[in-house]
Amino acid sequence: MSDTTREPWRTDRWFTSPWNFLPEVTQGCSFPGKVRVHDVTLRDGEQQAGVEFTRDDKVRIAEALAEAGVHRIEAGLPAVSRADEEAIKEIVRRNLPCDIFAFSRCLVDDVKRAVDCGVKGVVMEIPSSHHLIEQAYRWPIEVAIERSIESTRYAHEQGLYVSFFPIDATRAGIVQYLDLVERIAREGHMDAVGLVDTFGVLSPHAVSYFVRKTRERIQKPMETHFHMDFGLGVANTVMAVAAGAEVIQTTVAGTGERAGNTPMEETVLSLLTMYGLDLGVKTEQFYSLARLVLELARVQQPSNRPVTGERLFHVESGIIAGWVRNVGQEHLTEAFPYRPELVGQSPPRVVLGKGSGIDSVAYRLDMLGVQATNDEMLEILQEVKARSLEKKALLEDEEFLAVVRRVLPHASV
């Protein structure tokens, strides 16, 4: 086992870049002492078009999240429906080893519903960009502010932890955004403030500015909430944590509105393997957790999706098959950045298709306990390539066995 103190980039479970830990790279980073995961799958994840979670679905997902060590679960918005309200209450009744939050608009009636559900905290939303308040909500600015002050103060009086959630902050003027949040903090109440990039439009280079300016005006813990419209949610979340954000709001498998929310799996794994920051979440449960959520959501994901893709550890390339064959299980991270079991995946599988090579055939014959000459393996390989191209898909095990039997009629397979 590698010494993770001396070589945090290379352990018995992963092998990332030593450059990540060079002093000239890490200088300026100010990671908090502890980072918590706040899961929003049951609220923002369900906002993905076509996703409908039943009460029982939500309870199953909440239990799986708690089992994986997620610190906070945003169980939903009680005002959405009676079923959602009952789901939140049932999740609270389960007494899971994590904090249960509800989502709320900045309306006293919404907060009352959250209180009735028995949650520990509430995430309270209000647009921070004046153009969204005026054009999308059709509210006067002062009305939005007054409602935020009244409702956040009421939530605090009811004993709730208040995470203030300024929607569309990254498309507001920085002064406009900060003035709004500071006024709510002063006249209303907030225990934490969300760094909310509602439309995923923030660049990684702007994240530290976002964090720094917020900290200068608002002396409260910060929580990230980034979207994937430009595929930058993971990078932006990592940058925010490196600048001091203490809570990351994510979803399982990146489910969510439009292109989805920042995926928990990729973010937690990046922080662990590239920054040496262990959030205490059981990464070994990532694959099964994602499978549960995607099955209940009736959503498919790319087969090579990071961390949870079904074919992520399938190898078709002959070159890579040679690597896998040569390094064996002991040195598997020479061929992959992390071991599949770290995220609950099955061991690598060499599959057969048009991109296969002689090492692919040798690997599969080794598994069958069959010996063949180089010429015989080449003949098998050519037929594998031809059949794969003809069907435009990988060969199934029985198809490969049929090829082996034809080329090696005396082989016991």
CATH number for position 229: 3.20.20.70
Question: Is 131 part of a structural domain of the chain?
Answer: yes
Least confident residue range of 78-82, 88-92, 117-121, 254-258: 78-82
pTM of the predicted protein model = 0.94
- Which of 268, 297, 326 terminates a domain? The answer is 297
Q: What is the DSSP letter of 332?
A: G
Residue 315 has pLDDT above 80, yes or no: yes
What mean pLDDT comes out for the span 380-388? 97
What mean pLDDT comes out for the span 158-166? 97
Same domain, 319 and 398: yes
Question: Is 329 part of a structural domain of the chain?
Answer: yes
Tens of pLDDT, residues 336-368: 999 999 999 999 999 999 999 999 999 999 999
What mean pLDDT comes out for the span 100-124? 96
Tens of pLDDT, residues 188-240: 999 999 999 999 999 999 999 999 999 999 999 999 999 999 999 999 999 99
Domain residue limits at 392: 314-407
Instruction: Determine the pLDDT at residue 3.
Output: 47
Please name every residue paired with 349 in a beta bridge, in sequence order, or none if there are none. 314
What is the b/e burial string over 105-115, where b = at least 16 CB atoms within 10 angstroms of the residue's CB? bbbbebbbbbb
- Find where tokens 């939005």 sit: 144
**Could you give the number of structural domains in the chain?**
2
Same domain, 333 and 221: no
Instruction: Determine the pLDDT at residue 6.
Output: 72
What mean pLDDT comes out for the span 263-282? 98
What mean pLDDT comes out for the span 23-41? 96
Same domain, 280 and 336: no
Same domain, 172 and 50: yes
Question: Is 19 part of a structural domain of the chain?
Answer: no
- What's the number of CA atoms in the CB half-sphere (13 Å) around residue 20? 18
**What secondary structure does DSSP assign to 259-301, as a single string?**
T-BPBHHHHHHHHHHHH----S--GGGHHHHHHHHHHHHT---
